Amino acid sequence: MNITIHDELRSFVDPLTEIEYAALEKSLLAEGCRDALVLWNDVLIDGHNRYAICQKHGIPFKTVQNDSFGSIEDVKLWMIDNHLARRSVSDFQRGLLAIRKKQIVAARKAQRAAEAPEQGQDAEPEDTSPPWNKREDIARAVRVSPNTISQIERIQKTAAPQLVEAIRRGDISINAAATVAQLPEPAQVAAAAGGRKQLQEAARQVREQRAASRPRKEGDDGEPVDTAARMRAEIAALKDRVATLLTENEVLKQRLAALGGESA
């Protein structure tokens, strides 16, 4: 059987963690490959991890064809929707996938608008099922908050790879990572290397520096009034703690799902 691995498609979605990969390998060795790999002609579009493990251990597998795609962008959109439907996808992964879908939809819209006058046609109406042009619509579609989408966009633009990996491991929340992503890349790398405590400390320092740079009001005695700034810092720290606990809970859910033998 001729199966082609398209490098761009293989790396389009987040890779499994080491724990998830090991759990999948254990499941395949014990139960075999129960779910068919999905091909577009001879290109593998779903089941890259299963395929690699089956090849490594000589495990038999089945394939199914999906020839409904007209382009590589169609395949990517299908892959995004396919992964968003899975239970083990974290909020960070959901946000990244949603942003990628938004980018593909926006690029298609721009291309249609550019080609329509040349073909003597009106530009095709924008796809609105669901709409992918507003942050609020995107957030609602993937079940996260608009603020989370905004933070993930910031992370995508400025975060060092080591910081992104720390988010995936559950060492730092999306909220705190978006704050740390404002630092120069060497500082981000150093914080990520220091683990969870160092990342939290880096986020705290960025917030304190940001609060200190804001203009302060003066009280009746002419002294700066710091109460509001302190309260904002305390609230931010509490939100960070809650977000970190939620992230850790999500990572544990993913690990439990992987141990349960979910395919990828």
pLDDT, tens digit (0-9, with 9 covering 90-100), for 19-56 = 889 999 999 999 999 999 999 999 999 999 999 999 99
Q: Which range is least confidently modeled, 30-44, 61-75, 207-221, 222-236?
A: 222-236
Please tell me the distance from the alpha carbon of residue 200 to that of residue 35, in angstroms, as a whole number. 41
Band of the pLDDT at 222, cuts 50, 70, 90? low
pLDDT at 128: 43
Asked if 179 and 203 touch (Cβ cutoff 8 Å), the reply is: yes
Please tell me the distance from the alpha carbon of residue 203 to that of residue 217, in angstroms, as a whole number. 25
| Percent of the residues in the chain that have a pLDDT greater than 70, as a whole number | 78
Instruction: Spell out the residues 6+ positions from residue 136 whose beta carbon is closer than 8 angstroms to its own.
Output: 146
Asked if 194 and 187 touch (Cβ cutoff 8 Å), the reply is: no
Count the neighbouring beta carbons within 10 Å of the beta carbon of residue 156. 14
Please write the tens of the pLDDT for every residue from 100-128. Answer: 898 898 888 888 888 877 665 555 554 54
pLDDT at 242: 72
**pTM for this model (two decimals):** 0.70
Please tell me the distance from the alpha carbon of residue 190 to that of residue 150, in angstroms, as a whole number. 24
pLDDT over threshold 60, residue 231: yes
- Give the DSSP letter of residue 224: B
Both tokens assigned to 238: 């509490």
Partners of 65 in the β-ladder: 39
Backbone angles phi, psi at 160, to 5 degrees: -70, 150
Rounded to the nearest 10 degrees, the angle between the axes of helix 18-31 and helix 48-57 is 60
Please tell me the distance from the alpha carbon of residue 39 to that of residue 176, in angstroms, as a whole number. 39
Can the peptide bond before residue 186 be classed as cis, meaning omega within 30 degrees of 0?
A: no
More confident residue, 149 or 135: 149
Q: Which range is least confidently modeled, 25-29, 39-43, 82-86, 193-197?
A: 82-86
More confident residue, 209 or 51: 51
Provide the residue type at 79 as one letter: M
pLDDT at 53: 96
pLDDT at 262: 47
